[in-house]
Structure 1
Amino acid sequence: MSRVVELVEHAPATSHVLPDAVGRALAEARIVDASPDPYAPGRWLLRAGSKVGAVSVGAADGEAPVTVRVTPKVPVARLFFLLGHSLAPKDPWQEGRVEVDDRRELLPALAHAVERQIAAALRRGLLQGYRSTEESALVVRGRIREADQIRRRFGAALPVEVVYDEFTTDIPENRILRAAVERLLRLPGVPPEVRRRLLHQRTRLADATPLIAGRPLPAWQPSRLNTRYRPALHLARAVLAGSSPEHARGGLRIDGFLFDMNKLFEDFVTVALREALRGSECTGALQDPHHLDEADAIRMKPDLVVYRPDGTPLAVADAKYKAEKRDGYPDADLYQMLAYCTALGLREGHLIYAKGNAPHAAHRVRHAGIVLHQHALDLDQEPTALLADIASLAHHLVTAPPP
């Protein structure tokens, strides 16, 4: 039977009895901060960082595997809102309508939500579409691939190299859903009743070709026909793109699913700000590449750069998933933002944090005339209030003083 270690995101380190091989595997995979407890042999000090979810580490010598669960500080329903808005801000599911149950643990809630959305997507049957197929055939179907016929058959009449469009359920949308279901079925901590429903959905999606591990997801385009699939596809993308280590090291296998809250917060803030700017004449560029020096040797990539209609920079912002400590935010963040403002020729820069002691602070840099703003977003509030704070921040960005 699996042993379970419960941790909370960014909580103080706690001591746990672990096999040394498991402790080393957790440390090497950077799932949590792990080190031997100096005061208790056979115990390890574990501290969760910004990665939340669950992983299972298979123990050697027939010992039971160890499951490590990291609970996020924000409510699971709020986490799903952040995820939804960053993936698809214009789709209705981001408004909190994705059913996540009343579960407090992330992985069970995610599995439940994915299964429910796939069930809703398939309620009227599997989506079908046209897929282009190339094959060698004894009869002509579709179009003859003349160049391939000459190169491969050297003038022979049969077989014929043809290409045709086939109306089938083996399309990217169904392949992605199948891959997400199979991924969830391999993860630890999926409740038995949800696992049974996922097995049923996998049976329904059996005709979709499995995805090949390590290759990019097949592309799909939003359309009127796949509207009912979109919530499920967005969640499936999150399942497949999540940090989920799967490897064997020292005879141990690590398998699990982890959300990186740093990236989730950054994606939410930047996408939400870009959407809030659509009502103005300004535009926002995400992960906008620039250089600090004149020789273009020092690269920098701010999370968000706001541009005027004429293409000149107006504001720069960086999102940091850090809670303010008693002595304030890290000075390194301010130095980084000062570099951004200097290279872009801006008089103001904006650092956006997940939470703080005050909603706003400003620092004027000596001899530079640059003001560095630190904003704090409270994630533990209703989505409408959170988006209102984002809109207020976007207004602050577009009313920045000219350089």
Structure 2
Amino acid sequence: MNRTLKRLADEGVSVWLDDLNRHLLWSGDLAQLVRSGTVVGLTTNPTIFHNALGQDAEYIEEMQVLRRRGVSALEAVRTLTTGDVRAACHVLDPVYRATGGRDGRVSIEVDPRWAHDTERTIEEARALWRLVDRPNAMIKIPATVEGLPAITTCLAEGISVNVTLIFSVRRYHQVIDAFLEGLERARAAGLPLAEIGSVASFFVSRVDTEVDRRLDALATPAAAALRGRAAIANARLAYLRYENMLRDPRWLELGAAGASPLRPLWASTGVKDPAYPDTRYVTELVAPGTVNTMPPATLDAVIAHGTVLGDRIRGNYDDAWEVVTQLGETGIDFDDVLEQLEREGIAKFQTSWQAMIEDVDRILSGVRA
């Protein structure tokens, strides 16, 4: 294993890959990444699948078969994406077994059109869980207000969940409550808690992008001094909330019954601003019990020149609080930023999903986009 990645593992960080396509699967590249210990898990989202289906020639032949069967574009997308996730689950199964289900997970997202519809989200999650049919799958459910009861219901039924699109610590607090209630209901139903996996995907880089934009508009020395500090501060405070959960009597009882904790997963870790080091959302967010899911470019950067300086979260809570306080004093409404990012995150995935359906529909109709 690469020295930097080994150091991350030694610090308690699980490295997952935020990417999936047929070439990655069929070339053996994913298997090699897993065998070498480079990655121990994998995440997907509608944008990743849209890019894959639009650029990867390996899908065309299967789509031609699906076209002859007369399936709809939505059915074709479900067949293609769940097939890829099932195959990735197979590749990562040895990790899943070796870690007792802690890692070796592969996530697939519910239809983002239902982000504000609890019942449709639950139906979609159940359908994906059945279609993938692998114990190391995770169903991604957005952390909207309407998504919270869906998270609880799915966990209560034994469905492993990746809670996605979390931006605020306030919403993370609600996610933890939904998680605890779901596991309590699963335990009451007699389900084996050890088989239910879950992570909480906290989005990082987009926070800096929006906060920096607002700071630049202020054009003051105080604003300039805060550029690039909001996202890491926000994530660190999320980890503080995670530590508080681990001391919660409700969690202690569930943990004693075999449950696994709701680990923080740092998502959107690709650096958007070239003025910042391209590994900062990895090396600055090191702490035990975390997951960092990296797009390929970020993973390559970490391997090439990442420097891990140990735990960068638990000794920096005071600084994180100070950053949030100073943002308010400077005139940045941080709550408004995080609410905006949730709306934009959902809209982005909805746009990717719709574009993917339309692209597949054109191919099924025999029209090349």
More strand by share: 1
TM bracket, shorter-chain basis: under 0.3
TM-score with structure 2 setting the length:
0.27
More helix by share: 2
TM-score with structure 1 setting the length:
0.26
Structure number, greater radius of gyration? 1
